[in-house]
Amino acid sequence: MELTWTTKQKMMQKLVRQFAEKHIQPHISNMEETETFPLELMEEMSKLGFMGIPIPTNLGGVGADFISYIIALEEISRVSATVGVILAVHTSVATMPILNYGNEKQKIKYVNDLCRGRKIGAFALTEPQAGSDVSKIQTRAVREKDRYVLTGNKVFITNSEVAEVYIVFAVTDPSMGTRGISAFIVEKDTPGFTFGKKEKKMGLNGSSTGELIFDQAKIPVSQLLGKEDQGYEIALAHLAGGRIGIGAQALGIAKSALEHSVQYVKHRQQFGKPLANMQAVQMKLADMATMVEAARLLVYRAASYKQEGKACRQEASMAKMFASDVAMKVTTEAIQIFGENGYLRDYPMERLFRDAKVTQIYEGTNEIQRLVVAGTLT
């Protein structure tokens, strides 16, 4: 099986790669050193439609297919995993839920602005006691006439205080477990909604990750996404696409590490000859290339299932799990190939290594992905 792109998909790949190398690459040093969110860069991406690649044109998107979106995530993450995750969260789990479950008024009000980059989106599910176990969500939403009152905290939220539109999950019926969770579209300026701790992370230093605090925040009933108690369904429906997106991010990281390694060994000499001529190095590169190609096949297989409207829970989990494991293995080997230089910030390896680790953790840890896959087999 060979991956072949349509003409439009090839154009997307070329456009995004050129943009990433010309416009994203120069921002990396500043993002790493100052941990500053690349707002100006996101505005540049918006002008090219990158903030709404798989969204229909009548709602302000590009109208491209899901595979084109995954191609874009891979190419962006190949240069910067930070920008890759900002875009992935904004699109996969912030914009898509409104597109798929929102009513017409919600779509018109929010999707157009999100696609055009006028607003950035975020997804708020995780809590201090509710990570992999969604049933432990404690944020409550109590109906009071024409509004809901939200109280609780969300943590590890990507795009945190930078976003303006949040998909927030809260318990509306405690007696129903996960079936009593609802989803809400919450705007940044909502009274009672504030921001807590901003996390200092190992990697993805330009992305904003932080805590959301809801202290009797008043949410109009019109902001309920889907039906009451439908939140868990909404979350699950979009986590598969989100996991494929993280798989693409991990693939981009691994691909970058491999490419940098190949270039390095051609020029770095030891014992009077290039590292590329040493059999031990050749074996490492062969293993790295094989793992990257295997990850690519899994990621795009899952993407093709998603695009065709097929159930892809197993495929998405396999892709995310395997690609993120590959990203860690390949970046680890790349640092070994670079030797001391791989440990220095003057070279990209240590950044790629740090960025790779979180792909094994967020959007569902790889342990959870293995349980998902096992559950589909038994």
**Count of beta carbons in the 10 Å neighbourhood of residue 57:** 12
Residues 239 and 368 in one domain: yes
**pLDDT tens digits for range 222-266:** 999 999 999 999 998 898 899 999 999 999 999 999 999 999 999
Structural domain contains residue 1: no
Residues 151 and 268 in one domain: no
User: Which of 201, 231, 261 delimits the end of a domain?
Assistant: 231
Determine the pLDDT at residue 271. 86
CATH code of residue 49: 1.10.540.10
Residues 226 and 245 in one domain: no
Distances (CA, A) of 258 to 54, 76, 158, 249, 279: 29, 16, 27, 14, 17
Distances (CA, A) of 7 to 4, 14, 75, 155, 173: 10, 11, 17, 41, 49
CATH code of residue 368: 1.20.140.10
**pLDDT tens digits for range 127-170:** 998 888 888 999 999 999 999 999 999 999 999 999 999 999 99
How sure is the predictor about 308, in pLDDT bands with cuts at 50, 70 and 90? very high
Residues 25 and 101 in one domain: yes
Taking a C-beta distance cutoff of 8 angstroms, is the pair 254, 295 a contact?
yes
56 lies in which domain range? 7-120
User: What percentage of the chain carries pLDDT values higher than 90?
Assistant: 90
Nearest to 202 by CA among 313, 362, 358, 42: 358
Residue 80 pLDDT more than 60?
Answer: yes
Determine the pLDDT at residue 2. 61
**pLDDT tens digits for range 178-196:** 899 999 999 999 999 999 9
Structural domain contains residue 44: yes
Determine the pLDDT at residue 1. 53
User: Which of 193, 211, 231 delimits the end of a domain?
Assistant: 231
Residue among 74, 127, 333, 363 flagged as catalytic:
363
User: Which of 200, 216, 231 delimits the end of a domain?
Assistant: 231
Nearest to 170 by CA among 210, 127, 129: 127
Please tell me the distance from the alpha carbon of residue 172 to that of residue 345, in angstroms, as a whole number.
Answer: 48
Q: What is the mean pLDDT of the chain?
A: 94
Number of domains in the chain: 3
- 363 catalytic, yes or no? yes
